[in-house]
Structure 1
Amino acid sequence: MSCIAVIPVYNHGHAIGAVVDALRGHDLPVLLVDDGSEPHCAAVLDRLATLDGVTLLRHTHNQGKGAACVSGFREAAALGYSHALQIDADGQHDTADVPRFLAEMAAHPDAVIAGCPVYDDSVPKGRLYGRYATHVWVWINTLSLRITDSMCGYRIYPLAPTLPVLGAMPQARRMDFDPEVLVRLDWAGVPVVNLPTRVRYPADGVSHFDYWRDNVRISRMHTRLFFGMLRRSPRLLARHLGAQR
Protein backbone atom coordinates (compact mmCIF):
# COMPACT_ATOMS: atom_id res chain seq x y z
CA MET A 1 0.00 0.00 0.00
CA SER A 2 1.05 3.56 -0.70
CA CYS A 3 -0.79 6.77 0.08
CA ILE A 4 -0.58 10.35 -1.21
CA ALA A 5 -2.38 13.40 0.16
CA VAL A 6 -4.66 15.04 -2.42
CA ILE A 7 -5.53 18.66 -1.64
CA PRO A 8 -8.04 20.62 -3.75
CA VAL A 9 -6.97 24.28 -3.64
CA TYR A 10 -8.91 27.37 -4.69
CA ASN A 11 -7.47 30.67 -3.43
CA HIS A 12 -6.15 29.28 -0.13
CA GLY A 13 -2.70 30.77 -0.57
CA HIS A 14 -2.54 32.01 3.05
CA ALA A 15 -3.11 28.57 4.59
CA ILE A 16 -1.92 25.91 2.18
CA GLY A 17 1.78 26.21 3.05
CA ALA A 18 1.23 25.18 6.66
CA VAL A 19 -0.94 22.24 5.59
CA VAL A 20 1.71 21.02 3.15
CA ASP A 21 4.49 21.41 5.74
CA ALA A 22 2.49 19.38 8.27
CA LEU A 23 1.80 16.57 5.80
CA ARG A 24 5.43 16.42 4.73
CA GLY A 25 6.29 16.21 8.42
CA HIS A 26 4.42 12.90 8.41
CA ASP A 27 6.49 11.75 5.38
CA LEU A 28 3.37 11.86 3.23
CA PRO A 29 3.74 12.87 -0.43
CA VAL A 30 1.40 15.67 -1.49
CA LEU A 31 -0.56 16.28 -4.70
CA LEU A 32 -1.90 19.84 -4.94
CA VAL A 33 -4.80 20.37 -7.34
CA ASP A 34 -5.04 24.04 -8.26
CA ASP A 35 -8.68 24.53 -9.21
CA GLY A 36 -8.21 27.75 -11.18
CA SER A 37 -6.83 29.89 -8.35
CA GLU A 38 -6.06 33.58 -8.74
CA PRO A 39 -2.43 34.55 -9.53
CA HIS A 40 -1.32 35.12 -5.93
CA CYS A 41 -2.39 31.65 -4.80
CA ALA A 42 -1.13 30.08 -8.03
CA ALA A 43 2.30 31.55 -7.32
CA VAL A 44 2.27 30.09 -3.80
CA LEU A 45 1.44 26.67 -5.25
CA ASP A 46 4.23 26.98 -7.84
CA ARG A 47 6.71 27.56 -5.00
CA LEU A 48 5.37 24.65 -2.98
CA ALA A 49 5.68 22.38 -6.02
CA THR A 50 9.47 22.84 -5.91
CA LEU A 51 9.62 21.00 -2.57
CA ASP A 52 10.53 17.34 -2.37
CA GLY A 53 7.48 15.11 -2.43
CA VAL A 54 5.07 17.80 -3.69
CA THR A 55 3.36 17.56 -7.08
CA LEU A 56 1.11 20.18 -8.68
CA LEU A 57 -1.83 19.52 -11.00
CA ARG A 58 -3.62 22.56 -12.41
CA HIS A 59 -7.09 23.29 -13.76
CA THR A 60 -7.08 26.27 -16.13
CA HIS A 61 -10.40 27.47 -14.66
CA ASN A 62 -12.40 26.79 -11.53
CA GLN A 63 -14.42 23.58 -11.81
CA GLY A 64 -15.34 22.92 -8.16
CA LYS A 65 -13.99 20.98 -5.21
CA GLY A 66 -15.41 17.69 -6.45
CA ALA A 67 -13.84 18.10 -9.88
CA ALA A 68 -10.48 18.84 -8.24
CA CYS A 69 -10.77 15.69 -6.13
CA VAL A 70 -11.64 13.58 -9.18
CA SER A 71 -8.62 14.91 -11.09
CA GLY A 72 -6.41 14.36 -8.06
CA PHE A 73 -7.56 10.78 -7.47
CA ARG A 74 -7.03 9.85 -11.10
CA GLU A 75 -3.59 11.43 -11.09
CA ALA A 76 -2.70 9.66 -7.83
CA ALA A 77 -3.60 6.32 -9.39
CA ALA A 78 -1.60 7.17 -12.51
CA LEU A 79 1.39 7.90 -10.27
CA GLY A 80 1.07 4.41 -8.80
CA TYR A 81 -0.50 5.12 -5.41
CA SER A 82 -3.06 2.71 -3.97
CA HIS A 83 -4.72 5.21 -1.62
CA ALA A 84 -5.41 8.93 -1.46
CA LEU A 85 -5.86 11.02 1.66
CA GLN A 86 -8.23 13.90 0.94
CA ILE A 87 -7.78 16.94 3.17
CA ASP A 88 -8.93 20.56 2.92
CA ALA A 89 -6.54 23.39 2.06
CA ASP A 90 -7.82 25.90 4.60
CA GLY A 91 -6.33 24.34 7.72
CA GLN A 92 -9.58 23.24 9.35
CA HIS A 93 -8.54 19.59 9.52
CA ASP A 94 -6.18 18.37 12.21
CA THR A 95 -3.04 17.10 10.50
CA ALA A 96 -1.91 15.61 13.83
CA ASP A 97 -4.46 12.88 13.11
CA VAL A 98 -2.73 11.77 9.89
CA PRO A 99 -0.98 8.84 11.66
CA ARG A 100 -4.36 7.65 12.96
CA PHE A 101 -5.83 7.74 9.46
CA LEU A 102 -2.84 5.86 8.07
CA ALA A 103 -3.03 3.26 10.84
CA GLU A 104 -6.70 2.63 10.04
CA MET A 105 -5.82 2.38 6.35
CA ALA A 106 -3.22 -0.27 7.14
CA ALA A 107 -5.73 -2.19 9.25
CA HIS A 108 -8.56 -1.84 6.69
CA PRO A 109 -6.94 -1.46 3.25
CA ASP A 110 -10.18 -2.04 1.34
CA ALA A 111 -12.21 0.53 3.32
CA VAL A 112 -12.82 4.24 3.13
CA ILE A 113 -11.50 5.87 6.29
CA ALA A 114 -14.02 8.67 6.79
CA GLY A 115 -13.39 11.51 9.20
CA CYS A 116 -16.19 12.32 11.64
CA PRO A 117 -15.85 15.90 12.90
CA VAL A 118 -15.41 16.73 16.56
CA TYR A 119 -16.05 20.48 16.54
CA ASP A 120 -14.91 23.23 18.84
CA ASP A 121 -16.73 26.52 19.40
CA SER A 122 -15.49 27.97 16.10
CA VAL A 123 -18.00 26.01 14.00
CA PRO A 124 -20.74 28.22 12.46
CA LYS A 125 -24.02 27.06 13.94
CA GLY A 126 -25.80 27.22 10.57
CA ARG A 127 -23.28 24.84 9.05
CA LEU A 128 -23.45 22.54 12.08
CA TYR A 129 -27.22 22.19 12.13
CA GLY A 130 -27.53 22.03 8.35
CA ARG A 131 -25.33 18.94 8.24
CA TYR A 132 -27.95 16.87 10.03
CA ALA A 133 -30.38 17.08 7.11
CA THR A 134 -27.74 15.51 4.89
CA HIS A 135 -26.91 12.88 7.52
CA VAL A 136 -30.54 11.77 7.63
CA TRP A 137 -30.78 11.57 3.84
CA VAL A 138 -27.56 9.57 3.67
CA TRP A 139 -28.93 7.10 6.22
CA ILE A 140 -32.10 6.81 4.11
CA ASN A 141 -30.18 6.43 0.86
CA THR A 142 -27.96 3.67 2.26
CA LEU A 143 -30.75 2.10 4.34
CA SER A 144 -28.23 1.95 7.17
CA LEU A 145 -26.26 3.93 9.73
CA ARG A 146 -22.93 2.78 8.31
CA ILE A 147 -21.89 6.35 7.46
CA THR A 148 -21.67 8.58 10.52
CA ASP A 149 -20.75 11.81 8.69
CA SER A 150 -20.82 12.18 4.90
CA MET A 151 -19.71 15.81 4.58
CA CYS A 152 -16.27 15.85 6.18
CA GLY A 153 -13.62 16.15 3.47
CA TYR A 154 -10.92 14.43 5.54
CA ARG A 155 -10.73 10.83 4.32
CA ILE A 156 -8.59 8.08 2.87
CA TYR A 157 -9.93 6.41 -0.26
CA PRO A 158 -8.81 3.05 -1.66
CA LEU A 159 -8.35 4.09 -5.28
CA ALA A 160 -9.08 0.76 -7.01
CA PRO A 161 -12.79 0.70 -6.04
CA THR A 162 -13.14 4.50 -5.99
CA LEU A 163 -12.14 5.28 -9.59
CA PRO A 164 -15.01 3.29 -11.19
CA VAL A 165 -17.51 5.02 -8.88
CA LEU A 166 -16.34 8.46 -10.02
CA GLY A 167 -17.54 7.73 -13.53
CA ALA A 168 -21.07 7.14 -12.22
CA MET A 169 -21.39 10.62 -10.72
CA PRO A 170 -20.55 13.20 -13.42
CA GLN A 171 -22.84 15.84 -11.90
CA ALA A 172 -21.19 15.93 -8.46
CA ARG A 173 -18.34 18.32 -9.07
CA ARG A 174 -18.71 20.87 -6.28
CA MET A 175 -19.74 20.63 -2.62
CA ASP A 176 -22.12 17.77 -3.41
CA PHE A 177 -19.13 15.52 -4.13
CA ASP A 178 -18.23 14.47 -0.59
CA PRO A 179 -21.61 12.98 0.40
CA GLU A 180 -22.37 11.46 -3.00
CA VAL A 181 -19.10 9.60 -3.41
CA LEU A 182 -19.41 8.10 0.06
CA VAL A 183 -22.97 6.89 -0.59
CA ARG A 184 -22.00 5.39 -3.95
CA LEU A 185 -18.99 3.65 -2.42
CA ASP A 186 -21.29 2.19 0.22
CA TRP A 187 -23.64 1.01 -2.55
CA ALA A 188 -20.63 -0.65 -4.19
CA GLY A 189 -19.97 -2.62 -1.01
CA VAL A 190 -16.87 -0.68 0.04
CA PRO A 191 -16.64 -0.71 3.86
CA VAL A 192 -16.62 2.60 5.74
CA VAL A 193 -14.52 3.09 8.88
CA ASN A 194 -15.72 6.17 10.78
CA LEU A 195 -12.85 7.96 12.55
CA PRO A 196 -13.49 10.90 14.93
CA THR A 197 -11.21 13.85 14.22
CA ARG A 198 -11.05 17.41 15.47
CA VAL A 199 -12.21 20.12 13.06
CA ARG A 200 -11.94 23.85 13.60
CA TYR A 201 -12.94 26.86 11.52
CA PRO A 202 -10.03 29.33 11.45
CA ALA A 203 -11.02 32.96 12.01
CA ASP A 204 -9.25 33.93 8.77
CA GLY A 205 -10.43 30.86 6.88
CA VAL A 206 -11.71 31.08 3.31
CA SER A 207 -14.88 29.09 2.66
CA HIS A 208 -16.26 28.61 -0.83
CA PHE A 209 -19.51 27.06 0.36
CA ASP A 210 -22.38 29.01 -1.19
CA TYR A 211 -25.37 28.61 1.10
CA TRP A 212 -27.94 28.93 -1.69
CA ARG A 213 -26.35 27.29 -4.70
CA ASP A 214 -24.60 24.49 -2.84
CA ASN A 215 -27.65 23.62 -0.78
CA VAL A 216 -29.68 23.42 -4.00
CA ARG A 217 -27.01 21.14 -5.51
CA ILE A 218 -27.01 18.95 -2.41
CA SER A 219 -30.81 18.73 -2.45
CA ARG A 220 -30.73 17.63 -6.09
CA MET A 221 -28.04 15.09 -5.20
CA HIS A 222 -30.19 13.60 -2.44
CA THR A 223 -33.06 13.27 -4.92
CA ARG A 224 -30.85 11.44 -7.44
CA LEU A 225 -29.54 9.16 -4.74
CA PHE A 226 -33.01 8.44 -3.38
CA PHE A 227 -34.19 7.04 -6.70
CA GLY A 228 -30.92 5.15 -7.01
CA MET A 229 -31.53 3.69 -3.56
CA LEU A 230 -35.01 2.52 -4.58
CA ARG A 231 -33.51 0.50 -7.43
CA ARG A 232 -30.92 -0.99 -5.11
CA SER A 233 -33.13 -1.42 -2.02
CA PRO A 234 -33.50 -5.24 -2.21
CA ARG A 235 -29.71 -5.67 -2.28
CA LEU A 236 -29.14 -3.01 0.39
CA LEU A 237 -31.72 -4.57 2.68
CA ALA A 238 -30.26 -8.03 2.14
CA ARG A 239 -26.82 -6.70 3.03
CA HIS A 240 -28.17 -5.04 6.16
CA LEU A 241 -30.01 -8.14 7.28
CA GLY A 242 -26.97 -10.32 6.56
CA ALA A 243 -24.82 -8.09 8.75
CA GLN A 244 -27.23 -8.56 11.66
CA ARG A 245 -27.01 -12.36 11.61
Structure 2
Amino acid sequence: MSQFKPCIVIPVYNHEHAIGAVLESLREFKLPCLLIDDGSHAACQSVLEQLAQQHADWVSLKRLAVNQGKGGAVSAGLFWAKSLGYSHATQIDADGQHHTPDLPQFIRAAQTQPATLIAGQPVYDESVPKGRLYGRYATHIWVWINTLSFAIKDSMCGFRVYPLAATCALLEREKLGSRMDFDVEVMVRLYWSGMRILQLPTPVQYPLDGVSHFAVWRDNVLISRMHAKLFFGMLWRSPRLIARWFQR
Protein backbone atom coordinates (compact mmCIF):
# COMPACT_ATOMS: atom_id res chain seq x y z
CA MET A 1 0.00 0.00 0.00
CA SER A 2 1.75 3.17 -1.20
CA GLN A 3 -0.38 5.43 0.99
CA PHE A 4 -2.20 4.36 4.13
CA LYS A 5 -5.05 6.79 4.67
CA PRO A 6 -7.68 5.52 7.12
CA CYS A 7 -11.03 6.96 8.14
CA ILE A 8 -14.03 5.93 10.26
CA VAL A 9 -17.47 5.07 8.87
CA ILE A 10 -20.48 5.02 11.21
CA PRO A 11 -23.94 4.00 9.94
CA VAL A 12 -26.61 5.71 12.05
CA TYR A 13 -30.31 4.90 12.29
CA ASN A 14 -32.21 6.58 15.14
CA HIS A 15 -29.35 6.50 17.64
CA GLU A 16 -29.53 10.18 18.56
CA HIS A 17 -29.01 9.43 22.26
CA ALA A 18 -25.76 7.49 21.82
CA ILE A 19 -23.98 8.90 18.78
CA GLY A 20 -22.70 12.00 20.58
CA ALA A 21 -20.88 9.89 23.17
CA VAL A 22 -19.49 7.65 20.43
CA LEU A 23 -18.04 10.66 18.60
CA GLU A 24 -16.63 12.07 21.82
CA SER A 25 -14.82 8.78 22.45
CA LEU A 26 -13.30 8.96 18.95
CA ARG A 27 -12.19 12.60 19.01
CA GLU A 28 -8.76 11.92 20.51
CA PHE A 29 -7.73 9.65 17.63
CA LYS A 30 -7.89 12.50 15.10
CA LEU A 31 -9.26 10.39 12.26
CA PRO A 32 -11.80 11.69 9.74
CA CYS A 33 -15.26 10.32 10.49
CA LEU A 34 -18.03 9.78 7.95
CA LEU A 35 -21.55 9.55 9.40
CA ILE A 36 -24.17 7.83 7.24
CA ASP A 37 -27.68 8.86 8.29
CA ASP A 38 -29.71 5.86 7.13
CA GLY A 39 -33.04 7.67 6.78
CA SER A 40 -33.36 8.43 10.50
CA HIS A 41 -36.34 10.20 12.00
CA ALA A 42 -36.33 13.97 12.44
CA ALA A 43 -34.93 14.00 15.98
CA CYS A 44 -31.90 11.93 15.04
CA GLN A 45 -31.42 13.86 11.81
CA SER A 46 -31.29 17.11 13.78
CA VAL A 47 -28.75 15.72 16.26
CA LEU A 48 -26.52 14.46 13.45
CA GLU A 49 -26.60 17.81 11.69
CA GLN A 50 -25.64 19.58 14.94
CA LEU A 51 -22.80 17.15 15.59
CA ALA A 52 -21.46 17.49 12.05
CA GLN A 53 -21.44 21.27 12.43
CA GLN A 54 -19.90 21.09 15.91
CA HIS A 55 -17.10 18.76 14.72
CA ALA A 56 -16.83 20.07 11.18
CA ASP A 57 -13.03 19.73 11.23
CA TRP A 58 -13.21 15.91 11.33
CA VAL A 59 -16.85 14.79 10.94
CA SER A 60 -18.79 14.69 7.66
CA LEU A 61 -22.43 13.70 7.20
CA LYS A 62 -24.26 12.02 4.33
CA ARG A 63 -28.02 11.41 4.54
CA LEU A 64 -29.76 8.56 2.76
CA ALA A 65 -33.29 9.66 1.94
CA VAL A 66 -34.72 6.16 2.44
CA ASN A 67 -33.63 3.64 5.06
CA GLN A 68 -31.36 1.08 3.39
CA GLY A 69 -30.59 -1.14 6.38
CA LYS A 70 -27.23 -1.51 8.07
CA GLY A 71 -25.59 -3.20 5.11
CA GLY A 72 -26.86 -0.60 2.67
CA ALA A 73 -25.64 2.23 4.91
CA VAL A 74 -22.21 0.63 5.42
CA SER A 75 -21.85 0.05 1.67
CA ALA A 76 -22.74 3.69 0.98
CA GLY A 77 -20.16 4.75 3.54
CA LEU A 78 -17.42 2.56 2.08
CA PHE A 79 -17.99 3.85 -1.45
CA TRP A 80 -18.06 7.42 -0.12
CA ALA A 81 -14.80 6.87 1.76
CA LYS A 82 -13.13 5.43 -1.34
CA SER A 83 -14.32 8.36 -3.47
CA LEU A 84 -12.68 10.74 -0.97
CA GLY A 85 -9.34 8.98 -1.39
CA TYR A 86 -9.20 6.93 1.79
CA SER A 87 -7.45 3.56 1.64
CA HIS A 88 -9.14 1.96 4.66
CA ALA A 89 -12.40 2.48 6.53
CA THR A 90 -13.06 1.46 10.12
CA GLN A 91 -16.70 0.48 10.62
CA ILE A 92 -18.02 1.33 14.09
CA ASP A 93 -21.62 1.00 15.30
CA ALA A 94 -23.52 4.09 16.43
CA ASP A 95 -25.05 2.58 19.57
CA GLY A 96 -21.88 2.62 21.67
CA GLN A 97 -21.39 -1.14 21.91
CA HIS A 98 -17.87 -1.11 20.49
CA HIS A 99 -14.81 -0.46 22.65
CA THR A 100 -13.36 2.55 20.86
CA PRO A 101 -10.14 2.63 22.96
CA ASP A 102 -9.14 -0.42 20.88
CA LEU A 103 -9.22 1.64 17.68
CA PRO A 104 -5.44 2.38 17.65
CA GLN A 105 -4.51 -1.31 17.68
CA PHE A 106 -6.99 -1.99 14.85
CA ILE A 107 -5.45 0.84 12.82
CA ARG A 108 -1.89 -0.33 13.55
CA ALA A 109 -2.79 -3.84 12.42
CA ALA A 110 -4.32 -2.49 9.21
CA GLN A 111 -1.28 -0.34 8.52
CA THR A 112 1.05 -3.30 9.07
CA GLN A 113 -1.13 -5.64 6.97
CA PRO A 114 -2.95 -3.35 4.54
CA ALA A 115 -4.44 -6.13 2.40
CA THR A 116 -6.00 -7.87 5.46
CA LEU A 117 -9.49 -7.42 6.88
CA ILE A 118 -9.04 -6.51 10.56
CA ALA A 119 -12.13 -7.48 12.56
CA GLY A 120 -13.18 -7.61 16.19
CA GLN A 121 -13.59 -10.86 18.07
CA PRO A 122 -16.10 -9.91 20.79
CA VAL A 123 -15.46 -10.33 24.49
CA TYR A 124 -18.91 -9.87 26.07
CA ASP A 125 -19.90 -8.52 29.45
CA GLU A 126 -23.15 -9.22 31.30
CA SER A 127 -25.13 -6.75 29.15
CA VAL A 128 -25.35 -9.15 26.20
CA PRO A 129 -28.79 -10.79 25.81
CA LYS A 130 -28.33 -14.53 26.29
CA GLY A 131 -30.56 -15.35 23.33
CA ARG A 132 -28.41 -13.23 21.04
CA LEU A 133 -25.23 -14.74 22.47
CA TYR A 134 -26.30 -18.34 21.96
CA GLY A 135 -27.85 -17.57 18.59
CA ARG A 136 -24.50 -16.35 17.29
CA TYR A 137 -23.10 -19.87 17.52
CA ALA A 138 -25.44 -21.07 14.77
CA THR A 139 -23.95 -18.45 12.48
CA HIS A 140 -20.40 -19.37 13.56
CA ILE A 141 -21.03 -23.00 12.55
CA TRP A 142 -22.49 -22.04 9.19
CA VAL A 143 -19.55 -19.71 8.50
CA TRP A 144 -17.08 -22.50 9.27
CA ILE A 145 -19.00 -24.76 6.88
CA ASN A 146 -19.23 -22.13 4.15
CA THR A 147 -15.53 -21.30 4.34
CA LEU A 148 -14.36 -24.88 5.06
CA SER A 149 -12.18 -23.22 7.65
CA PHE A 150 -12.00 -21.98 11.23
CA ALA A 151 -10.20 -18.83 10.09
CA ILE A 152 -13.22 -16.64 10.93
CA LYS A 153 -13.88 -16.82 14.66
CA ASP A 154 -16.76 -14.30 14.68
CA SER A 155 -18.37 -12.84 11.59
CA MET A 156 -21.03 -10.70 13.27
CA CYS A 157 -18.96 -8.05 15.04
CA GLY A 158 -19.28 -4.75 13.17
CA PHE A 159 -16.02 -3.30 14.51
CA ARG A 160 -13.64 -3.85 11.59
CA VAL A 161 -11.20 -2.15 9.21
CA TYR A 162 -11.87 -2.72 5.51
CA PRO A 163 -9.24 -2.38 2.77
CA LEU A 164 -11.37 -0.20 0.54
CA ALA A 165 -10.11 -1.06 -2.94
CA ALA A 166 -10.74 -4.80 -2.60
CA THR A 167 -13.95 -4.43 -0.58
CA CYS A 168 -15.56 -1.93 -2.95
CA ALA A 169 -14.57 -4.12 -5.90
CA LEU A 170 -16.42 -7.00 -4.24
CA LEU A 171 -19.49 -4.82 -3.59
CA GLU A 172 -19.52 -3.74 -7.24
CA ARG A 173 -19.51 -7.28 -8.63
CA GLU A 174 -21.69 -9.05 -6.02
CA LYS A 175 -25.14 -8.20 -4.67
CA LEU A 176 -24.89 -8.58 -0.90
CA GLY A 177 -27.55 -8.43 1.78
CA SER A 178 -28.40 -4.89 2.81
CA ARG A 179 -29.48 -5.46 6.42
CA MET A 180 -28.11 -7.42 9.37
CA ASP A 181 -26.93 -10.18 7.03
CA PHE A 182 -24.31 -7.86 5.52
CA ASP A 183 -21.55 -8.18 8.12
CA VAL A 184 -21.48 -11.98 7.83
CA GLU A 185 -21.79 -12.17 4.06
CA VAL A 186 -19.15 -9.58 3.22
CA MET A 187 -16.63 -11.29 5.51
CA VAL A 188 -17.26 -14.72 3.99
CA ARG A 189 -17.06 -13.40 0.44
CA LEU A 190 -13.86 -11.47 1.19
CA TYR A 191 -12.41 -14.70 2.57
CA TRP A 192 -13.51 -16.51 -0.58
CA SER A 193 -11.77 -13.87 -2.67
CA GLY A 194 -8.47 -14.70 -0.95
CA MET A 195 -8.36 -11.91 1.61
CA ARG A 196 -6.73 -12.77 4.92
CA ILE A 197 -8.82 -12.20 8.06
CA LEU A 198 -7.18 -11.06 11.31
CA GLN A 199 -9.43 -10.90 14.38
CA LEU A 200 -8.53 -8.98 17.52
CA PRO A 201 -10.28 -9.54 20.89
CA THR A 202 -12.31 -6.50 21.90
CA PRO A 203 -14.92 -5.89 24.64
CA VAL A 204 -18.52 -5.46 23.46
CA GLN A 205 -21.47 -4.16 25.48
CA TYR A 206 -25.16 -3.81 24.55
CA PRO A 207 -26.10 -0.87 23.66
CA LEU A 208 -25.77 2.50 25.43
CA ASP A 209 -29.18 3.85 24.40
CA GLY A 210 -31.10 0.58 24.69
CA VAL A 211 -32.05 0.73 20.99
CA SER A 212 -31.56 -2.37 18.85
CA HIS A 213 -32.60 -2.56 15.20
CA PHE A 214 -32.28 -6.34 15.01
CA ALA A 215 -35.75 -7.50 13.91
CA VAL A 216 -35.88 -11.07 15.19
CA TRP A 217 -38.12 -12.63 12.55
CA ARG A 218 -37.09 -10.57 9.52
CA ASP A 219 -33.36 -10.62 10.17
CA ASN A 220 -33.24 -14.27 11.16
CA VAL A 221 -35.01 -15.15 7.90
CA LEU A 222 -32.55 -12.99 5.94
CA ILE A 223 -29.59 -14.54 7.72
CA SER A 224 -30.92 -18.05 7.10
CA ARG A 225 -31.36 -17.31 3.39
CA MET A 226 -27.87 -15.83 3.29
CA HIS A 227 -26.33 -18.97 4.83
CA ALA A 228 -28.17 -21.14 2.30
CA LYS A 229 -26.94 -18.98 -0.60
CA LEU A 230 -23.39 -19.08 0.73
CA PHE A 231 -23.57 -22.86 1.15
CA PHE A 232 -24.29 -23.39 -2.54
CA GLY A 233 -21.61 -20.85 -3.39
CA MET A 234 -19.18 -22.81 -1.23
CA LEU A 235 -19.87 -26.09 -3.06
CA TRP A 236 -18.35 -25.05 -6.38
CA ARG A 237 -15.54 -23.19 -4.60
CA SER A 238 -14.77 -26.17 -2.34
CA PRO A 239 -11.72 -27.50 -4.26
CA ARG A 240 -10.04 -24.10 -4.02
CA LEU A 241 -11.05 -23.65 -0.37
CA ILE A 242 -9.74 -27.09 0.55
CA ALA A 243 -6.47 -26.37 -1.25
CA ARG A 244 -6.18 -23.11 0.63
CA TRP A 245 -6.74 -24.95 3.92
CA PHE A 246 -3.87 -27.37 3.17
CA GLN A 247 -1.61 -24.49 2.13
CA ARG A 248 -2.24 -22.80 5.47
Task: Confirm or deny that 1:11 pairs with 2:14.
Answer: yes
- Quote the residue 2:24 is aligned against: 21
Task: Confirm or deny that 1:227 pairs with 2:232.
Answer: yes
- Quote the residue 1:78 is aligned against: 83
Query: Within 2, Cα distance between the matches of 1:241 and 1:168?
Result: 28
Query: Within 2, Cα distance between the matches of 1:119 and 1:189?
Result: 29
- Could you say if the C-alpha distance between residues 151 and 187 of structure 1 is closer, same or farther in structure 2, counting changes exceeding 3 Å? same
- Quote the residue 1:237 is aligned against: 242
SS of corresponding position for 2:162:
strand
The residue identity in structure 2 corresponding to 1:155 is: R
Of the candidates 58, 66, 81, which is equivalent to residue 63 of structure 2?
Answer: 58
Deviation for aligned residue 1:171: 4.3
Of the candidates 37, 54, 60, which is equivalent to residue 34 of structure 1?
Answer: 37
Query: Within 2, Cα distance between the matches of 1:60 and 1:166?
Result: 21
- Quote the residue 2:196 is aligned against: 191
The answer on whether the counterparts of 1:24 and 1:30 sit within 8 Å (CA) in structure 2 is no
- Quote the residue 1:215 is aligned against: 220
Of the candidates 138, 151, 155, which is equivalent to residue 146 of structure 1?
Answer: 151
TM-score, structure 1 length as denominator? 0.97
Deviation for aligned residue 1:159: 0.5
SS of corresponding position for 2:141:
helix
Query: Within 2, Cα distance between the matches of 1:69 and 1:113?
Result: 16
Query: Within 1, Cα distance between the matches of 2:85 and 2:131?
Result: 40
Aligned-residue RMSD, C-alpha: 0.9
How many aligned residue pairs are there?
243
The answer on whether the counterparts of 2:99 and 2:204 sit within 8 Å (CA) in structure 1 is yes
Deviation for aligned residue 1:169: 3.8
Query: Within 2, Cα distance between the matches of 1:37 and 1:169?
Result: 27
> Which piece of structure 1 moves more, 164-173 or 107-116?
164-173
Deviation for aligned residue 1:7: 0.4
Query: Within 1, Cα distance between the matches of 2:134 and 2:229?
Result: 23
Task: Confirm or deny that 1:46 pairs with 2:36.
Answer: no
Q: Percent identity?
A: 61
> Which piece of structure 1 moves more, 94-103 or 20-29?
20-29
The answer on whether the counterparts of 1:23 and 1:29 sit within 8 Å (CA) in structure 2 is no
Deviation for aligned residue 1:165: 1.2
Query: Within 1, Cα distance between the matches of 2:45 and 2:207?
Result: 21
Query: Within 2, Cα distance between the matches of 1:152 and 1:87?
Result: 9
- Structure 2: which 5+ residue stretches go unaligned? none
> Which piece of structure 1 moves more, 194-203 or 145-154?
194-203
- Deviation digits for residues 114-168 of structure 1, max 9, x if unmatched? 1010000010000000000000000010000110100000000000110111134
SS of corresponding position for 1:121:
coil
